[in-house]
Every structure is written in structure tokens, then in C-alpha cells.
Amino acid sequence: MQYLWTHIRTLTDSYYGAVPFSHFIRNYTRQHPKLGSRDRKMLTTILYSWFRCSSGIVVPPQVANAFEVRVLACLRSCGVGGPAYDKLFAPFNIPDADVPPLKLENLFTEALPLSEGISKEQWLLSMTRQPRLFIRVIGSKDRICKVLNENNILFEEVAPSCLALPNGTPIDKILPETDYAVQDASSQYTGTFFSPAAGQQWYDCCCGAGGKSLLLMAEQPAVRLTVTDKRASIINNLKERFSRYGYRRPDALVADAADAAALSNTLGTRQFDNIICDVPCSGSGTWARTPEPLHFFNSEVQQKFPPLQRAIAVNVSKYLRPGGRLIYITCSVFRQENEEVVEHIVANTGLKVQHMQLINGISILADSMFIAVLQ
């Protein structure tokens, strides 16, 4: 197994978080075609465990094979084990007494308060476990459940249209793409605050690939929807997804919601009954799913988000009709990106908070999100 240790060392030394690790490891393994599918899976599991826990593992310098001990401690902290891993560590004969426990408080030492509804200990402990895969049912739920059972895939119904499956389930190989959408349970839960009515004018101002817009259409396909994103490629992706599920395409426009003048040129005098404002954020509520941002946390990058979020929310609020609602959403657990931005919105617009909460998904192995409904 020495060749695997060479790759483990190389990956921990050469990856710095500039791109998602999933992209990095894919390119890396292409350059090393001798790595088989089991090798690739083990490397990914080991590196993700490293990103999750290595900052909280302290190995005394006098311990032999300190690097290997640290890797083993990360895997144990994440509950990873089995014959293949026993074989990987067998040459080192590491005593249990040499494997240090995880020091949770060392995983994230930044003084960034979290939103109400989640504790720092709870949030950090969640980093040691990979969240489940969640799908939103679009086709026949009975048929989907039948297929899952036939393929011996364990699943749980966490909401009428939300199923939880083991992470990594090859759902795309057993179900038609029109029957489901991959969407985290907490993200799906935000749709319970939409309450759309037929004929209403809705605007998704940072639409991305259209997750929230599709959630809206599933509830009420007769709304009149406008979406914007500053990336033309993303807009094209959204259009394709709407066509895939048979929804009428929205009025899809390329515009930067953070740029008030550009937004005015794009939207003109349009007014909306409801605006979905799912803003760019640190993604800290999703770090258990992709833990590299935790390991390589950059406070300078994170500090760019609150001003951007405030600008977007205030800019788009000007396009609300009297009585209209702004639905502010992040996938962050940081108060600075959540409650503090809402306070800024209230102070700089005529909007008032109707509802505000941190959607804590940890108990069901889901992401955590924040939502505020202002009117």
C-alpha cells in the first residue's frame, strides 16, 4: 500500500483549496491512471477526513510516524474504518495510545458568532460526518420508492416530497432525471415559506442553476417568474433544467443584482409580489458536505460576503410592490451574513421582518440554512 501513501502525502502537500477538491482529485487521478476505482474512493475519503479533522488533531513530535498517526486519528474521528484501511495502516503498527482524540475547539478558531439556533460545538461536531443525499420527488413517489427498494437502497422520507439516501448513492443510474431533483432537505424546506398564488409576479434575483425557482414552480407553476444571474452560462443551465421538468421557461436575464445601475437597466419599471433573494455566502452551513473551506478558511474572502449581501438585498427590494415580500436566504451559519444583514435591510428599506430562523439540518444529516421573510 506504499503507493497509496505516496499519493496521500502528495495530495495533502499540493492542494490548497483554490478549487473544489472534487475537481482537483478528478484531474489528479486522470494523471495517475494506475489508481483504480477503490484507490480513488479511498483517497477521496482520506483527504476529506483530513480536511474535516486535521486542524483538531495534535500529535506529539516524539511519536513515530507522526503523519500516519494524524491521518489515522482523522479517520477514526470521522468513523471511517474497515479491512482496506486496516491494511493501509498495518505496516506502521500504531498503538491505540498513540492516536490522539479530536480537539473540536481547534477546528475553527475564528471569532465569528453563529446565528441563533445552532451552537458552535454542534456545528463543529457535524463536520465529522458526511451529510446524506437528499432528493426532491418530482415524479411518482410510489414508483421511486419501488425502484429504491428493488436496488436495496435504504432511504427515509423526511418530508412528503423529500427522501434521504446514503451519500454517494448512484441515483442517476437507476431513476430517470425527470423523476427527481437533487436538493438538500434544508434547501427544500425554504419552499414552505413561499406560499405562491397563480398569476403572481415572482423574481429570483440570484438564481444560480435554479434550485429555488424550480422549488417555486413545483408548488405553483402558474406564477409569472423572472430570474437573473450575472453568469450567462448559469442562465443557460437554468433554462435547460426548466425544459427538462416541463415547466414554462421564466424570463431569464443576465444581470448583476449587486450593481444598482445595471439592475435598473435590466428590470426597468418591473414590480414583483415576491422576491427570492438567495445570496452568495460563505457556505458555512454546507461545510460538512465539502469540508475543504473549513480547513482552508480565509477570513478575507468571508468578509467580502456581508457587503455584497447587503447591496443585493437593498437593490432588489426597490422592485417590490407595496405589500410584497423579500425572502432572504443563505446557506451560512454566521450571524454576520444572516441576522446582521437582515438588520441592515430593515434599517435601509421600508421592510419589516415577518419571520426569521436558522434552519438547523444537523439532526437529519442535512445542511443548515438561514431564511428571513420581510414585507
Answer with the one of 107, 125, 153 that is the final residue of a domain: 107
Binned at pLDDT 50, 70 and 90, residue 1 comes out as confident
Question: Can you tell me the distance from the alpha carbon of 239 to that of 232, in angstroms, rounded to the nearest whole number?
Answer: 11
Does the global pTM surpass 0.85? yes
124 within domain boundaries: no
Q: Are 263 and 320 in contact (CB under 8 A)?
A: no
Shared-domain flag, residues 359 and 243: yes
pLDDT in tens, 141-185: 999 999 999 999 999 999 999 999 999 999 999 999 999 999 999
3-state secondary structure 333-350: CEHHHCHHHHHHHHHHCC
CA distance 148 to 152: 6
Asked whether residue 304 falls in the same domain as residue 257, the answer is yes
Segment 254-312, tens digit of pLDDT: 999 999 999 999 999 999 999 999 999 999 999 999 999 999 999 999 999 999 999 99
Domain that holds residue 271: 186-374
Q: Which residues of 346-370 are buried (b: 16+ CB within 10 A; e: fewer)?
A: eeebebeeeebbbbbbbebbbbbbb
Number of H helices, E strands in the chain: 15, 11
Same domain? 198 vs 332 = yes
Please tell me whether residues 148 and 261 are part of one structural domain.
no
Domain finish residue from 160, 182, 204: 182
Burial of 73 (0-12, 13-18, 19+ CB in 10 A): buried
Stated length of the chain: 375
Same domain, 53 and 178: no
Could you tell me where the DSSP H helices lie in 168-286? 185-189, 211-219, 232-244, 260-267
User: 78 near 53, Cβ under 8 Å?
Assistant: yes
Please state, in angstroms and rounded to a whole number, the distance separating the CA atoms of residues 290 and 293.
7
Task: Locate 340 and state its grid cell.
Answer: 446582521
Residues 230 and 215 in one domain: yes
Query: What's the CATH number where 153 sits?
Result: 3.30.70
Handedness of CA 337, 339, 340, 343 (dihedral sign): positive
In a domain, residue 120? The reply is: no
Q: Is residue 126 part of a domain?
A: no
Tell me the pLDDT tens digit for each residue of 135-148: 999 989 999 999 99
Q: How many domains are there within the chain?
A: 3
On whether residue 114 sits in a domain, the answer given is no
Do 258 and 201 share a structural domain? yes
